[in-house]
Chains A and B, each alone.
Chain A
Amino acid sequence: MDKPLVADCSALHYHYGSTPALAGIDLALYGGRVTALLGPNGAGKTTLIHLLLGVLPVQQGRIELFGSLRPGRKAAQQRIGVMLQASGVQDNLTVAELLALFASFYPEPDSQIGLLDELELVDLADRRFDRLSGGQKQRVLFALAVIGRPDWLILDEPTTGLDPGARRILWRAIEARRAAGVSILLCTHFMDEAQKLADHVVVLDHGRILEQGSPDAIRRRVPSDRIRLRTSLPAVKLETLPAVQSVRVGEDRTEILSRCGIETVRALLAADDSIEDLEVAGADLETAFLALTDSAQPEQEAA
């Protein structure tokens, strides 16, 4: 890939007091593609984003944006659009007032009417931010992120807590930006979101990069289903079953994390006819990462 680098981090460390948040990140983010940043809470995703934006000072290591710019420089900030997880706005302003305010920060802002239309906010233009629903607020924050026509869009969990309709509107808008060649850094909890949108996935845990690669490659390493059951089979035997990622024997029931639930259950039923209380559920990312990180860091405490 000959795409230019939008961000180049090397040997990045960060500490909050004595608590380490990032412990040596080397990461190159290339232009024109969507990178998904995955990781459990506390993995260091938000710290990394804040360092890239320049709202946190670099303590150790180096970050270069768009070739040679330091984070926080106005020239860099004008090319970045951002939607932060913990961000609020002056919430007594209306949607239109917020857009006009943010438009004034950029040299060549996008059309405010066009954005309202694209994000289905036209009817809400004169409504105050504090009187919007959660999904409407997320769409407004997205509009603020893209009003400056950024080259690079940083989205921290943009669809968390949204209903499917609102999520679809946002996905459509994100895809439109990708199609237009905007580089995107997407933090998410949703594997399906990463799979649908990302070209490249980076898995972060304990301030380190655990994995990176294409979504399919990562997907294969990350369990998608959690199976609970009572069985007479020993753990060693269970681990050899197809698609099994990890096995944990509890007091009551045994828990198996699997990359493909159906395949594993089929094999289970064939191997043991005394199975009871079988329950299959989609593994959330938290659980999945526990499985991933269990092997990497044995001292990791099970939740």
Chain B
Amino acid sequence: MNAANPSIQLVRAQWLNLLRTPAYTLPTLLFPVMFYVFFGLVMLRGQSLWLLCTFGTFGVMGAALFSFGVSIATERAQGWLLLLRASPAPVSAVIAGKAFGALLFAIVIVVMMSALAAAFGNVRLETAQWLSLAGILTLGALPFCLMGLALGLWLSPNAAPAVLNLVYLPLGFLSGLWIPSTVFPGWLQSVAEWLPPYHLAALALDVTGTKAADWAHSLTVLGLFGLSFAVMTALGWRRLSGVS
């Protein structure tokens, strides 16, 4: 194992960060899972599989937004990002460390929800479907990582958590992640169809055999969404000043 690789070292630093800040890690992991238990397993018992897909999307989206958004903003404030930028650590390695944290969160959230869905929601899927669901949702977190990164670079450290919540919760609701968008009035449904989380959930619903999705369309929406935040990230990175 080449422990002297900066990416591996930054992944390790991120891992230790998660282990050593349980006050951040545990709520981030448990919040979406708790939501799923309330809505998907207690209140709407017949809809456990559907809601597993949508709350899974909700959970990985949150993990991605917060691991990137809040932590980048905090590290800017601490001066840690400044020191890393002044060092020869590759930018890609810095982002890899963060991405690792977000994807680890994502997969742990999906797996916890899946286990609860199987145990208490009577959800049964083929092994390939369980794996695809975890895979789709984990990879689907990537565009939201970029969104979090862009927001973390553009927002002030104090504003970041509030703004992220302001984006996260309505985005989750409007995309039909809490209540299926099919029960929305027509105009709201057409709003949902423009939102990226809707399309990630659509893919999750497809691989679990719940509802067929238009893969080309959904992947295009997610791709364009990721791309636009990649551009914003690049601009935000260039805009960083010495004081940040």
Per-position contact with A for B208-244: 1 when CB-CB < 8 Å, else 0?
0000000000000000000000000000001011110
Q: Assess the B88–A101 pair: CB atoms within 8 A.
A: no
- Contact in complex: A101, B10 (CB < 8 Å): yes
Residue of A nearest to B19 (CB): A92
> Beyond A86-B82, A93-B13, is A104–B21 a contact (Cβ under 8 Å)?
no
B166 within 8 A of A: no
Give per-residue flags for A115-147: 1 if the beta carbon is below 8 A from chain B beta carbons, else 0: 000000000000010000000000000001000
Q: What 9 additional pairs, Cβ within 8 angstroms, besides A80-B86, A82-B83, A89-B83?
A: A56-B242, A84-B83, A86-B82, A93-B17, A97-B13, A100-B9, A104-B5, A105-B87, A128-B20
Q: Taking the complex as formed, is B16 at the interface, i.e. its CB lies under 8 A from any CB of chain A?
A: yes
A-B contact pairs, 6 of them (CB 8 A): A47-B242, A50-B242, A57-B238, A77-B88, A82-B86, A104-B3
**Shortest CB–CB separation between residue B75 and chain A, in angstroms?**
7
Which residues of B have CB within 8 Å of A82? 83, 86-87
Determine the chain B residues whose CB is within 8 A of the CB of A78 once the complex forms.
Answer: 88
Q: CB < 8 Å: which of A47, A57, A92 contacts B16?
A: A92
Q: Given contacts A84-B79, A90-B75, is CB(A106)–CB(B16) below 8 Å?
A: no
| CB neighbours of A128 from chain B (8 A) | 20
The answer to the question of A293 belonging to the interface, with a C-beta cut-off of 8 Å to chain B, is no
Give the total of B residues in contact with A, Cβ under 8 Å: 30
CB of A100 within 8 A of CB of B3, answer yes
Residues of B with Cβ closer than 8 Å to A? 3-6, 8-10, 12-13, 16-17, 20-21, 75, 78-80, 82-83, 85-90, 238, 240-243
User: Given A47-B242, A55-B240, A56-B241, are A104 and B88 also a contact pair (CB < 8 Å)?
Assistant: no
A231 close to chain B: CB less than 8 A: no
- List residues of chain A with CB within 8 A of the CB of B8: 104
Does A91 belong to the interface (CB within 8 Å)?
A: yes
Q: Chain A: which residue is nearest B6 at the CB level?
A: A104
**Total residues of chain A contacting the partner, CB 8 A:** 34
A75: nearest chain-B partner, CB-CB: B88
* Per-residue contact bits, chain A 38-76, to B (CB 8 Å; 1 contact, 0 not): 000000001100100111110000000000000000100
Is A164 in the interface zone, CB < 8 Å from B?
no
Q: Which residues of B contact A57 (CB under 8 A)?
A: 238
A residues within 8 A CB of B5? 104
Chain B residue with Cβ nearest A47? B242
Q: Which residues of A contact B88 (CB under 8 A)?
A: 74, 77-78, 105-106, 148
A86 neighbours in B (Cβ, 8 Å): 79, 82, 243
Q: B80 touching A87 by the CB < 8 A rule?
A: yes
**Is the beta-carbon distance between A105 and B241 smaller than 8 angstroms?**
no
CB-based nearest B residue for A109: B4
The yes or no answer to A298 lying at the interface (CB within 8 A) is no
Q: Are A77 and B242 in contact (CB under 8 A)?
A: no
With both beta carbons as reference points, the residue of chain A lying nearest to B14 in the complex is identified as A90
- Tell me how far the C-beta of A104 lies from the nearest C-beta in chain B, rounded to whole angstroms: 4
Tell me if A92 and B90 are in contact (CB < 8 A): no
Is A87 within 8 A of B79, CB to CB?
Answer: yes
* Contact among B80, B82, B90, B240 for A90, CB-based, below 8 A: B80
The answer to whether A105 and B89 have CB atoms under 8 Å apart is: yes
| B96, chain A: closest CB distance, angstroms | 13
A150 to chain B minimum Cβ distance, whole angstroms, is: 10
* B85 / chain A contacts, CB cutoff of 8 Å: 55
A101 touches B13 (CB 8 A): yes
Task: Determine the distance from Cα of A46 to Cα of B79 in the docked complex, in whole angstroms.
Answer: 13
> A103 at interface (Cβ–Cβ under 8 A)?
yes
Find out whether the CB atom of A104 lies under 8 angstroms from the CB atom of B17: no
Q: Identify which of A84, A92, A93 contacts B86 (C-beta below 8 A).
A: A84
A190 at the interface (CB under 8 A from B): no
**5 residue pairs, one from A and one from B, having the closest CB atoms:** A50-B242, A88-B78, A77-B88, A87-B79, A92-B20
B9–A88 contact, CB under 8 A?
A: no
Asked whether A55 lies within 8 Å of B89 as measured between CB atoms, the reply is no
Please indicate the chain B residues that have their CB under 8 angstroms from the CB of A84 in the complex: 79, 82-83, 86
CB <8 Å contact, B87 and A87: no
Q: How far is the CB of A85 from chain B (nearest CB, A)?
A: 9
Task: Tell whether A77 pairs with B78 under 8 Å between CB atoms, given A55-B242, A104-B6.
Answer: no
Complex-state Cα separation, A1 to B88, whole angstroms = 30
B202 to chain A, nearest CB (A): 37
